Amino acid sequence: MISKPYLLKMRKLISILFVSALWFFTSCNSDTFQEHEIGDNLIDKSTEVHLIDTFTVRSATVKLDSLLTSGYSNVLFGGYHDEFFGEVSSEFYTTLGLGGAFEMGADANGKKNVKLQFDSLVFIGFPDTRYYGDTLQEQTISFHKLKEEIDLPNGQIGFYGHHTIAHDEVAFGSASFYLKPRKQSVEIKTIGDKTIPEIERERDGLRLRIDDAFGWDIINRVNADDDTLQNIFKWRNFFNGMVLKPGSENSALFSFKLGAPGMNLRLYFTYEGGDRGYHDFPVILAAPRQGENGLAYYNFSNFVSDKSSTPQDLGRIVEETEELKSEETDDLAFIQGGIGFYAKVKIPYVENLNNLGVTGGVLKSELIFYPLEGSFDNSIFRLPSSAISVYVTNRDNNRVMALTDSRGAALRAVYNNYTEHKNESYYSIDLTSYVNDILTNGQDYEDALLIGFPYESIGNTIDRLVIENDPDSNFRIRLKTTYVVQN
């Protein structure tokens, strides 16, 4: 008796040879598929080409936990209200670098150990051009000292989006501002043959005045020759760090740059003789851990989401193992960065293609899904600019693996934009290899796909997407497959 694995292997080999020959043959014919007779030197059987897009496609929304929000070159901050996703906000927890020893120095005349007079303390940040929400409204920000030193849990090198650290309820500074991402980002100037950022001009960056008390405390310590301002570990013990909190009425979530020139607290002072100076306490990407080798990330975003007011009440999803079927959410599925929502897609009857003939194979199979009309616009809630990936998952909604193309690159969704009929624009993902693998190796009942932003960057993504999957709609999720059959 011939074993089943052997038959499957032979069937796969025949399918590959058959599909390869038919691909060449059909590429030389008209766009209308017909029944053809292939020459005896290939396969002495009639063939049929089927275009099928009536597979049952079930969808749900799941929420992954443990999304890393440390270690990025930028940080997300702010908040907005969304009809579909409710109240969304992001706080930023960080320690501050010492920026080098801060001590009494020499003034412009060379006089040493000149005492300093406090002038002002200013938060400086450089938004990049990414934002989500309404930037025409006034935004607010408050700064709160942490009550304990930032300490990485369980030997980790970074933090996740659900982490928080105890902090003072009373802010040590607050300010209001209007977000102008392009104007407030770093302006690059070319001077001679050098390109440098012009960061000293007052109109560059976002500059917010902080209450004086903290600045006076630092200056008094400098004048007392306190080594707190000369040793990074003593400094971090003195100032545990801070959290930046958005106001409850904020209408935009946006991105701050980290790294030079980045984000920092700048303390302006005056020497006794009248000369002015400043010292920066920067937010740094990584820092050494006391008594240990290597670097660790001591800043992170904490995402907060209240979805209780949304029509679909996505807040019902608490654990990663839970899911909300689209039938429970008005035939919709949801993707959201930062919070960790993915659309889960099951196509349970793909194996039925094997029943269409003696042997066959997939020429092309693509998953097609449509953004819900009215869930996006061109100004406030834009369609995602981030890549959309696809992962194989299991019954517990764990990521098993990312789907890749024939070259090993991660599969990405392609947006097919029809400008004249915007509601007909859609995303597509090439699942040809995935479907062929199911036809060869079989399919488990729990096999499914997760569609969303790449896992390695979802903790630093502000985009979101609402997907329609009404089974009675022309805009339902579909698996569109071109299948060739040897009868």
- Determine how many CB atoms are found less than 10 A away from the CB of residue 225: 11
- Indicate if the pLDDT at residue 430 is higher than 90: yes
**Which token pair is 92?**
């930023």
Q: Per-residue pLDDT tens for 313-370?
A: 999 998 999 999 999 999 999 999 999 999 999 999 999 888 887 677 889 999 999 9
The residue that leads in pLDDT, 390 or 106, is 390
Which residue, 256, 273, 306, sits at the end of a domain? 306
Query: Which pLDDT score is estimated for 170?
Result: 95
Residues 253, 363 share a domain:
no
Query: Which pLDDT score is estimated for 370?
Result: 97
45: confidence class by pLDDT, cuts 50, 70, 90: low
Cβ–Cβ < 8 Å for 111, 273: yes
Residues 346, 454 share a domain:
yes
Whole-number average pLDDT of the chain: 84
The reply to whether 286 falls in a domain is yes
**Which token pair is 115?**
């005492």
The one-character DSSP state at 172 is S
Query: Which pLDDT score is estimated for 396?
Result: 93
Cβ–Cβ < 8 Å for 45, 385: no
Residues 57, 80 share a domain:
no
- Indicate if the pLDDT at residue 106 is higher than 50: yes
Give 111's contacts (C-beta < 8 A, 6+ positions apart). 273
The reply to whether 311 falls in a domain is no
Q: Per-residue pLDDT tens for 247-295?
A: 999 999 999 988 777 899 999 999 887 788 999 999 988 877 766 777 7
8's enclosing H/E stretch is helix 4-27
**Which token pair is 75?**
């940080």
Residues 297, 255 share a domain:
yes
- Indicate if the pLDDT at residue 153 is higher than 80: no
Task: Name the residue range of residue 393's domain.
Answer: 4-63+331-486
The residue that leads in pLDDT, 88 or 424, is 88
The reply to whether 323 falls in a domain is no
- Which range of 231-235, 305-309, 452-456 scores highest in mean pLDDT? It is 452-456
The closest alpha carbon to 452, from 361, 329, 369, 379, belongs to: 369
Residues 47, 83 share a domain:
no
- Determine how many CB atoms are found less than 10 A away from the CB of residue 250: 23
- Of 152-161, 296-305, 459-468, the least confident: 152-161
Q: Looking at residues 109-130, what average pLDDT do you find?
A: 86
Q: Looking at residues 54-76, what average pLDDT do you find?
A: 92
Residues 369, 258 share a domain:
no
Cβ–Cβ < 8 Å for 427, 388: yes
Residues 97, 225 share a domain:
yes
107: confidence class by pLDDT, cuts 50, 70, 90: low
Give 309's contacts (C-beta < 8 A, 6+ positions apart). 86, 87
Residues 258, 403 share a domain:
no
87's enclosing H/E stretch is strand 86-94
Beta strand 323-325 with 252-257 is unpaired
Q: Looking at residues 300-316, what average pLDDT do you find?
A: 92
Residues 86, 48 share a domain:
no
- Determine how many CB atoms are found less than 10 A away from the CB of residue 335: 26
The reply to whether 68 falls in a domain is no
The reply to whether 269 falls in a domain is yes
Residues 228, 200 share a domain:
yes
The reply to whether 322 falls in a domain is no
| Separation of alpha carbons 449 and 443, rounded Å | 13
Query: Which pLDDT score is estimated for 111?
Result: 66
Residues 8, 105 share a domain:
no
- Indicate if the pLDDT at residue 448 is higher than 70: yes
Residues 467, 416 share a domain:
yes
204: confidence class by pLDDT, cuts 50, 70, 90: low
452: confidence class by pLDDT, cuts 50, 70, 90: very high
| Separation of alpha carbons 457 and 424, rounded Å | 29
Query: Which pLDDT score is estimated for 205?
Result: 82
- Indicate if the pLDDT at residue 134 is higher than 60: yes
The reply to whether 316 falls in a domain is no
- Which range of 24-28, 147-151, 191-195 scores highest in mean pLDDT? It is 147-151
- Indicate if the pLDDT at residue 20 is higher than 50: no
| Separation of alpha carbons 270 and 219, rounded Å | 10
Q: In the chain, how many domains are there?
A: 2
- Indicate if the pLDDT at residue 42 is higher than 60: no
The reply to whether 326 falls in a domain is no
Query: Which pLDDT score is estimated for 3?
Result: 42
The closest alpha carbon to 264, from 75, 461, 103, belongs to: 75
36: confidence class by pLDDT, cuts 50, 70, 90: very low
The pTM for the full model equals: 0.84
